[in-house]
Amino acid sequence: MISASKWSLLSETASKAITPLAFLILARLLDPESFGIFALATLAITFAQILWDSGLSKALIQREGNSDDAANVIFFANIALGLILYLLILLLAQKFAELFGDVRLANVLIVQGLQMVIASAASVQNALFQRHMDFKALFRARMMNILVGSGVALFLAGLGCGYWALVGGVLAGDAVRAIYLWILSPWRPKWRFELTLAKQLWAFGGWILVEELLAWFIVWGDSTFVGIYLGAHELGLYRTGSLIVTMMLSTLLEPLVPVTFSGLSRIQGERERFNAYVDRVTRLFAVIALPVGASILVLRQPFVDILLGERWDGIQPVIGTFAIATGLSYALSAFPPAFRASGRIKAFATLRVLSVLYILPVYFLSIQAGLLVFLYARIGVTVMTMLLYAFVLNHCLRYGFIPFFRSISSGLFGAFLLWGTTLVVTRVFGQGLLPWHQVIVVFLLLMGMGLHLLLLSKDRSFFRQIVRLSFGKA
C-alpha cells in the first residue's frame, strides 16, 4: 500500500512539473485560436470517451475474484464501442463544425477522434494495473505519454503547425502509452464473450456512467457555451486561462484529496471526530487555496507580460476570474470525500444533478452578454455551489454553516491581506514597480503565510500528519 501510494504521488508530482512547463512553452509558440480549436475537438472527444467506456473499466477495478473473464468482456465491448463512436464522429464531424461555426474543426475531429480507438485498445490493461495497485507500471506509462506527447507537440509547434501540433502531441503520447501498457501487461484477450457477464458489468457501470456524464457537463459546460457563442479565439483565452490557474493550484492541493477520503473513511462511524476532521481539512485547503488564488489574481498582468506575450492580451480577466473561482472550489475539497466516506452517495449524486440544473441556464443567459459577464457569472456559480454543498452537508452530517465559514475565515483573511498589501505597494511605487518586483512581493507574502502555517498555527501537527500521509507514511 505504501509503495503504491508513493508511485501514485510520484506520478502526480512528475506530471505536474513537466506538463505546465510544456504547456507554457506551447502557449508562447501558438496563438489563442489554435488552443481554441483544439479545445473544441477535445470537449467532443472527452464526451465520446465517457460513452465508449460506460464505466466498465471502473467495474473491472472493483470486481472481486477472478477478473480474466470480465477483462475479456470489457476489452471487446470497449473496442466495439470505440469504433462505433469513431464512425459517428466521421459522419457528424461536419455538422459539429457548423454548430461551432468553424470549418477547420471537422478535420481536427476526424484525426483527433483516433484517441478513442487508441484508448479503448489499452483500457483493460490500464484498469488491471490499477486493480493490482501496480502504480510503478502506470507511472512509467504516464511519463512516456507526457514526454513523447510534449516533445512531439513542441517539435510541431516549432515548425509552425498551429493547432495540429496539439493534436499530434496528444495522439503520439496516447499511442506510445497504449503500446507500452500492452508490452508490460501479461494479460491477453481470448476469443470469447459472455453476454450474461456483460449485462452484470453494464448494470454496475451504468451508475458510474451517469455520474461521469454529469461531471462532464460541470467541467465542459462552460467551454461549450463559449465555443458556440464566442468562437475559437475567445475559447482559447478561456480554456488556457482556466488551465493555467488549475495547474498551479492542483500541483499544491490535488495529492491531498485522496488522503482526505482515506482519513474520513477510517472514522465514518464517529460523528464528532468525522465533523472535526472535515473542519480541519477545510481549514487546511482554505489557508492554501485562497491566498494562492489571491496571488494569481494580483499577478495576472505580470504573468502575461513575462510568460505569455502580447498575443495573449485579453486573457487577464480569465486568469483573475479563475483565480477566485478555483480557489473557492478547492476550499470545498473536503466535501465530496465526506459524502462518499459517510456513504451518502445518493446525496452527492443529487448535488451533481442540482448543480447541472442551475449551472447550464446561468451559462446560457450570461454568455449572451459577452465573455466578461460570463466570467462574473462563473464566480457566482461557484459561490452558489459552495452554499449548496454546505447546506446539504449540514442536513446529512450536521456540519453547520458556522463551522464551515469559521474554517475558511483564516484563508479569506490571508487572501484579502495579500491582495490589499500588494495593492498598496503597487500604488506607492506606481510605474517604478516592474513585473518581477510584484512577483517578489507576492512570493515573500506567501512565504510568510506558509511559515505561520507550519510554525505558529494551532493545527500544525494535523497539517504535518496530512503531508506524511500524502507521501505514503503511516
Of 44, 40, 145, which is closest to residue 89 (Cα–Cα)? 44
Cα–Cα distance, 203 to 63 (Å, whole number): 13
Please give the grid coordinates belonging to residue 460: 500544525
Full DSSP string of 417-457:
HHHHHHHHHHHHHGGG--HHHHHHHHHHHHHHHHHIIIII-
In this predicted structure, which of 6-15, 167-176, 326-335, 390-399 has the lowest mean pLDDT?
6-15
Phi, psi of 135 (to 5 degrees): -75, -15
Q: Which residue has the higher pLDDT, 397 or 187?
A: 187
Percentage of the chain surpassing pLDDT 70? Answer: 75
Question: Residue 205: is its pLDDT beyond 80?
Answer: no
Q: What is the pLDDT of residue 378?
A: 93
pLDDT of residue 380: 93
What is the mean pLDDT of the segment spanning 409-413?
A: 82
pLDDT tens digits for range 13-46 = 556 667 888 898 999 999 999 999 999 999 989 8
Which residues contact residue 461 at a Cβ distance below 8 angstroms, ignoring those fewer than 6 apart? none
Q: Which of 112, 47, 120 is nearest to 82 (CA)?
A: 120
Q: Rounded to whole angstroms, what are the CA distances from 26 to 30, 98, 175, 428? A: 6, 27, 21, 36
Give the Cβ contact number of residue 451 at 10 Å: 11
| pLDDT tens sequence across 245-279 | 988 888 777 766 666 766 776 776 777 788 888 88
Q: For the purposes of burial, counting CB atoms within 10 Å of the CB of 461, is it exposed (0-12), middle (13-18) or buried (19 or more)?
A: exposed
Residue holding cell 460513452?
51
- Cβ contact 233:35 at 8 Å: no
Q: What is the per-residue pLDDT across 273-289, written as a single tens digit (0 to 9) for each?
A: 888 888 888 888 888 88
- Total-model pTM: 0.82
Residue 307 CA, distance from chain mean position: 22
The model's pLDDT over 92-149, given as tens digits with 9 standing for 90+, comes to 999 999 989 889 999 999 999 999 889 888 887 887 777 766 667 777 888 889 899 9
- Residue 349 pLDDT exceeds 70: yes
pLDDT tens by residue, 44-92:
898 888 777 666 666 666 555 566 677 777 788 888 888 998 999 999 9
If one compares 309 and 192, the residue with the highest pLDDT of the two is 309
CA count, 13 A, side-chain hemisphere, 68: 8
Query: What is the pLDDT at residue 473?
Result: 46
Where does the pLDDT of residue 216 fall: very low under 50, low under 70, confident under 90, or very high at 90 and above?
Answer: confident
Q: How far apart are CA 337 and CA 61, in angstroms?
A: 19
The overall average pLDDT reported for the chain is 80
Closest C-alpha among 42, 362, 353, 108 to residue 217: 353
